[in-house]
Amino acid sequence: MSGFPILSLMLLVPLAAALACLYLDAKSARVVALVATLVDLALGIVLWMNFDVGGAQWQFQERHELFSGFSYALGIDGIALLLIMLSVFLMPICIGASWNSIEKRVGEYMAAFLLVETLMIGVFVAQDIFLFYMFFEAGLIPMYLIIGIWGGADRIYASYKFFLYTLLGSVLMLVAMLWMVHTAGTTSVPELMNYDFDPKVQTWLWLAFFASFAVKMPMWPVHTWLPAAHVQAPTAGSVILAGVLLKMGGYGFIRFSLPMFPEASAQFAPLVWGLSMAAVVITSLIALVQDDMKKLIAYSSVAHMAIVTIGLFAFNPQGLEGSMLVMLSHGLVSGALFLCVGIIYDRLHTREIARYGGLAINMPRYALFFLLFTMASIGLPGTSGFVGEFLSLGGIYQASSWTALICTTGIILGAAYMLYLYRRVVFGDQKNADAAAMVDLDARELIMVGALGLAVLWMGVYPESFIAPMRADIAALDARLARAKPEGDAKLAMGKQKPAHEEAAAHEGAH
Amino acid sequence: MDWSQSLRLIAPEETLSIASLILLLVAAWGGDKAAKLISVLAVAALVAAGVLVAPALCGGAMGTETFAFYGQFKADAFASYAKVLIYISAAVSLVVAPKFFDRFNAMRAEYPVLVLLAAIGMGMMVSATNLITLYIGLEMNSLAAYVLAAFLRTDGRSAEAGLKYFVLGALASGILLYGMSLTYGFAGTTSFDGISASMAHGLSNGALFGLVFVFAGLAFKISAVPFHMWTPDVYEGAPTPVTTLFATAPKVAAMALTMRVAIEAFGDQAHAWQQIIVFAALASIVVGALGAIRQSNIKRLMAYSSINNVGFMLVGLAVATPQGISAMLFYLAIYVAMSVGGFAMILMLTDEHGNQVEDLSKMAGLSRTRPGLALGLAMIMFSLAGIPPMFGFWGKFLVFKAAVDGGMIALAALGFAASVIGAFYYLKVVKVMYFDEPADVVKGESDIWHKLILIGSCVVISPLGFFLTKWLGHLADTAAAALFTAL
């Protein structure tokens, strides 16, 4: 497999299909998009098969000096591999989710989605810091169009908010990148990951990167673009937004902020913990009172992303592995939940929770899968949500027990809002005649939720498949962070019994 | 230094001068019927001049052998780089003109001749190494430009634009002349080398005043804030092919002239003008962006966008390093490509009767009625906003890279943050075209030349443009090096 530019091919397939879709009619555009995403999925599987677990840190590297100022350098490690797998797995589902529900301007829609796929994969494979930035930023254009053209009633406001919010965060990051390249004299990400910047400057660089990644993540209180964008985006747009685009923030932290600025990361860890604690409690409570299903899931995403950030800033392998697993699991689960919302939205054209009820009676198969994803979102053992959240919280407990305590309430609150949602939509009486008349899942929908359900169970039952490729990379990152690791507040120590004669002496003294 | 060498160095200017004089005679006898023929010949003359300029650019001509007429004029790689851009812009404004003017029966034979004369003036501006040459070049360009702005005699807006341009341009020339006379008074010479030598050991108050006035006059010409107010009115009123010219060639010429004056004449006193440039840069970025938000006319919007872009380019000058100048030159090339494409696009927006559609609201839903046009304009808008992977991003990237490398991190951070304001109004155009319900006004047939120019510029500003970075970057570096060898 060595020498074959598989990563370039994975970028090229959706790009070429995107250009083709612009010129095709609705029917053929759908087919082309589905075929292209399936080809990319197949390539992704080939990539995973050939990934040498425990081998070199960077694999499948490609490097061409095509441009001045930066180079076309690609390559992946285990972390990037898993996120690429997530992207290519979700893309065919996105195309499937929009098969019937998108009726206007289908060619352009499919082109925008395929472009998003190219850019997402590009973000994860770029090994040149400016190439990364370009992929990272360019994703704004198709997402802006997807939300703005095919979104709901308030789509214009949401699209502007999404674009300008994320752009403002990113430009500060670019200034920091320019400075780093000027100082370190290289644009290569692996080299920069091992370059030691002056700790005083790290503070500023870290903040600049934080401005971008915190918005992308999104962290409280800069999360407000997310509910707006999610609610207005079409179903597939929400799936990809929650499934993969949010992971770019986490990927940014794990690839840039932590290894490049270990001292600053340690310095700002309490800030991250504080924001994460606030996010878990506040957004969970907000989710509890939503009437709109998509908004509820959007707020739950913010809460889950906070579990990711505490894991990342726990400075130990459990936390890092846990946050990666939460990212992967959340990608699947929130994507699946948005899909579940989309399925009933396609039938009734409303996201209002009160308009549904008693779906278990007329849509039993739907109720089953919705239950599975609800449980995975809560973090029930046996589903993907459990493994990641447990590791993340276990990791942060070593660093800060208060953070662990408060963030764990997120699981209770998560159970509250998810079960409450499930009860209102699926259980109870069939109080709305039109909701009661809805038909159960068709074959297309069954395939999509079935695939997601299998992945969720696989990750819950045998997470080793997903931890193995990234174990060495997490260990390397942990070693890099070791020098700046903040001291934990637990101060665990083995209890040591005092020698008997000292004890006796102490007793005598007391007399 | 002999005359033959001097004459050889100004071969492009000679070609254009002779061509314009001959074409003027053709115009006198042939009348307006010959206008198209004259246009073709004028484009040929510009191409020939471009070919004559190319060796100096590719060969990286610099140093004393590029001086002509005893140091009055310099045909180095820097001037050549600017001239190539100027000739391309002038040629484009000739190519797009016939279709536009034909509707008013105003395709007059003088139009190509005036454009040629303006191009000669602009060529002299960028080659000037003496205040007198500078002024002659500037006025030669300006006089032609005033007439061009008012070229559509039947249109009141065009006459207004011509008058405004003339009055404010004359004011700017006055300010510039005043600054030049002060500089001459304190330096005792009009040559840039002499001025630089006399100011090598400090700046007297009088000379400082001269410097400030010179930069104020030049800021008028590049339409940098706070001397920008004529730009939207002139851009809106002037016939669109003329606006195409105004937005590109004179901007390149005035920008290159500003660079040359700043580096060659006042290079040792960079700290004296750096703060002026830093202010003008940030103010232009912010005012250009904020001013554009409320515009509903696409030409006015492009005017504010050009003010905004000038601000970004000035960031490169503020650094006062070869890297900064090189970044500016690269930005200028991208800017010309974007502007040319943008105005070709505006020319193509016509209703069923062939009238120009300039109102933003009438472009609503363009992506459904004319998908190709909408895609082109969307690419140009994202490129102007500097969103990667559009090539416009690279220009901003380079100037801010130069600023960071030059230690001006605060300027880079502020400039970049302000660029987000600009993104808002570029997005507005995309929103109108893609998100709104179709107004279905734009129905006119497009001219083949407009299409070709739009396609050409879209290819350059698309991600494919990044393949130019090595080649164009090398040329810009050479040109910037030529500017600094005189020091």
The answer to whether B401 contacts chain A (CB < 8 Å) is yes
Indicate which of A66, A109, A172, A175 best probes the interface with B, i.e. most B CBs within 10 Å of its own CB.
A175
Closest-CA distance, A68 to chain B, in angstroms, reads 5
Indicate which of A141, A162, A183, A200 best probes the interface with B, i.e. most B CBs within 10 Å of its own CB.
A141
Chain A, window 38-97: residues with a beta carbon less than 8 angstroms from a chain B beta carbon: 66-69
Closest-CA distance, A150 to chain B, in angstroms, reads 9
CA closest to B466 among chain A residues = A67
Residues B258-285, mean pLDDT to the nearest whole number: 89
Say whether B388 and A133 touch across the interface (CB within 8 A). Answer: yes
CB atoms under 10 Å from CB of A237, counted, come to 28
Helix (H) or strand (E) run with residue A72 in it: strand A72-76
Distances (CA, A) of B213 to A203, B172, B182, B275, B276: 42, 10, 9, 14, 11
Q: Give me B136's structure tokens.
A: 């002659």
Nearest Cα residue to B288 out of B336, B343, B224: B224
Buried b (16+ CB within 10 A) or exposed e, B49-86: bbebbeebbeebbbeeebbbbebbbbbbbbbbbbbbbb
Distances (CA, A) of B340 to A184, B46, B337, B482: 38, 17, 5, 27
Say whether B435 and A156 touch across the interface (CB within 8 A). Answer: yes
The most distant pair of C-alpha atoms in chain B lies apart, rounded to whole Å, by: 68
Closest-CA distance, A164 to chain B, in angstroms, reads 7
Say whether B423 and A163 touch across the interface (CB within 8 A). Answer: yes
Contacts of B234 (CB under 8 A, 6+ apart): B149, B161, B164, B165, B243, B246, B303
The answer to whether A105 contacts chain B (CB < 8 Å) is yes
Buried b (16+ CB within 10 A) or exposed e, B334-359: bbbbbbbbbbbbbbbbbeeeeebbbe
**What is the distance, to the nearest Å, from the Cα of residue A472 to the centroid of all Cα atoms in its chain?**
21
Say whether A164 and B420 touch across the interface (CB within 8 A). Answer: yes
Distances (CA, A) of A117 to A37, A41, A90, A317, A464: 8, 11, 10, 30, 27
Q: Give me A300's structure tokens.
A: 């739950």
Q: Which residues in chain A have their CB less than 8 angstroms from residue B400's CB?
A: 174-175, 178
Report pLDDT for A315.
86
Residues B61-75, mean pLDDT to the nearest whole number: 82
Instruction: Classify the phi-psi angles of B440: left when phi > 0, otherwise alpha if psi is within -120 to 50, otherwise beta.
Output: left
The answer to whether B37 contacts chain A (CB < 8 Å) is no
The most distant pair of C-alpha atoms in chain A lies apart, rounded to whole Å, by: 97
Contacts of A313 (CB under 8 A, 6+ apart): A265, A269, A272, A273, A319, A396, A399
Alpha helices in B66-198 (DSSP H): 77-95, 97-102, 110-127, 131-149, 156-187, 192-198
Hey, what's the torsion of the CAs at B471, B476, B477, B481, to 10 degrees?
A: 140
DSSP conformational letter for A55: S
Q: Which residues in chain B have their CB less than 8 angstroms from residue A175's CB?
A: 400, 404, 409, 412-413, 416
Q: How many CA atoms lie within 13 A of B409 on its CB side?
A: 16
Indicate which of B391, B401, B409, B475 best probes the interface with A, i.e. most A CBs within 10 Å of its own CB.
B401
A179 vs B404, B424, B435: nearest CB: B404
Say whether B397 and A171 touch across the interface (CB within 8 A). Answer: no
Q: What residues does A126 pair with on adjacent strands?
A: A74
Buried b (16+ CB within 10 A) or exposed e, B2-33: eeeebeebbebbebbbebbeebbebbeeeebe
Q: Give me B307's structure tokens.
A: 């003010």
Distance CA B141, CA B125 (A): 9
Indicate which of A115, A178, A183, A215 best probes the interface with B, i.e. most B CBs within 10 Å of its own CB.
A178
Q: Which residues in chain B have their CB less than 8 angstroms from residue A137's CB?
A: 387-388, 393
Distance CA A388, CA A324 (A): 7
Q: Which residues in chain B have their CB less than 8 angstroms from residue A108's CB?
A: 367, 371
Residues B447-455, mean pLDDT to the nearest whole number: 88
Q: Give me B423's structure tokens.
A: 């993104």
Alpha helices in B387-437 (DSSP H): 392-405, 409-434
Distances (CA, A) of A481 to A315, B211, B470: 7, 54, 38
B423 vs A68, A145, A167: nearest CB: A167
Q: What is the pLDDT of residues B109-161, one digit of tens each?
A: 889 999 999 999 999 999 999 999 999 999 999 999 999 999 888 888 889 99
pLDDT band at B41 (very low <50, low <70, confident <90, very high): very high
Report pLDDT for B372.
85
Q: What is the pLDDT of residues B289-317, one digit of tens each?
A: 888 888 889 899 999 999 999 999 999 99
Rounded to a whole number of angstroms, the distance between the first and last alpha carbons of chain B is 20
Q: What residues does A62 pair with on adjacent strands?
A: A74
CA closest to B405 among chain A residues = A182
Residues B249-273, mean pLDDT to the nearest whole number: 89
Distance CA B205, CA B201 (A): 13
Distance CA B447, CA B452 (A): 9
Nearest Cα residue to B148 out of B30, B235, B46: B235
**What is the distance, to the nearest Å, from the Cα of residue A86 to the centroid of all Cα atoms in its chain?**
9
Report pLDDT for B181.
93
Residue pair B26/B137 in contact by the 8 Å Cβ criterion: no
For residue B371, is the peptide bond before it cis, meaning its omega torsion is within 30 degrees of 0? no
Distance CA B394, CA B398 (A): 6
Burial class (CB in 10 A: 0-12, 13-18, 19+), B178: middle
Q: What is the pTM of this model?
A: 0.89
Distance CA A24, CA A107 (A): 6
Low-confidence ranges of chain A (pLDDT < 70): 1-2, 490-492, 497-511
Lowest-pLDDT range of B100-104, B143-147, B281-285 = B100-104
Closest-CA distance, A167 to chain B, in angstroms, reads 7
Q: What is the pLDDT of residues B165-178, one digit of tens each?
A: 999 999 999 999 99
Chain B, window 335-394: residues with a beta carbon less than 8 angstroms from a chain A beta carbon: 367-368, 371, 382, 387-389, 393
Report pLDDT for B486.
56
Q: Which residues in chain A have their CB less than 8 angstroms from residue B458's CB?
A: none
Distance CA B337, CA A268 (A): 44
Nearest Cα residue to A75 out of A89, A57, A91: A57
Distance CA A135, CA A203 (A): 25
Burial class (CB in 10 A: 0-12, 13-18, 19+), A499: exposed
pLDDT band at B487 (very low <50, low <70, confident <90, very high): very low
- In this predicted structure, the answer to whether residue B429 has a pLDDT above a threshold of 70 is yes
Query: Radius of gyration of chain B from Cα atoms?
Result: 21
Helix (H) or strand (E) run with residue B74 in it: strand B73-74
Closest-CA distance, A139 to chain B, in angstroms, reads 9
Tokens 């040319």: give the residue.
Answer: B340
Report pLDDT for A1.
46
Q: What is the pLDDT of residues B317-343, one digit of tens each?
A: 999 889 999 999 999 999 999 999 999
Contacts of B237 (CB under 8 A, 6+ apart): B149, B155, B157, B158, B159, B160, B161, B162, B164
Distance CA A266, CA A480 (A): 12
Distances (CA, A) of B48 to B11, B91, B141: 10, 11, 20
Say whether A105 and B401 touch across the interface (CB within 8 A). Answer: no
Hey, what's the torsion of the CAs at A152, A157, A160, A162, to 10 degrees?
A: -70
Closest-CA distance, B108 to chain A, in angstroms, reads 41
CB atoms under 10 Å from CB of A449, counted, come to 22
Residues in chain A: 511
Burial class (CB in 10 A: 0-12, 13-18, 19+), A511: exposed
Chain B, window 463-482: residues with a beta carbon less than 8 angstroms from a chain A beta carbon: 466-467, 469-470, 473-474
Report pLDDT for B306.
92
Q: Give me A480's structure tokens.
A: 């890099």
**What is the distance, to the nearest Å, from the Cα of residue A177 to the centroid of all Cα atoms in its chain?**
23
The answer to whether B398 contacts chain A (CB < 8 Å) is yes
CB atoms under 10 Å from CB of B41, counted, come to 18
The answer to whether A134 contacts chain B (CB < 8 Å) is yes
Q: What is the pLDDT of residues B333-390, one digit of tens each?
A: 999 999 999 999 888 888 888 788 888 888 888 888 888 888 888 999 999 988 888 8
For residues B1 and B401, the model is more confident at B401
B416 vs A156, A172, A182: nearest CB: A172
Residue pair A326/A311 in contact by the 8 Å Cβ criterion: yes
A149 vs B389, B404, B434: nearest CB: B434
Say whether A178 and B382 touch across the interface (CB within 8 A). Answer: no
The answer to whether B293 contacts chain A (CB < 8 Å) is no
Closest-CA distance, A489 to chain B, in angstroms, reads 37
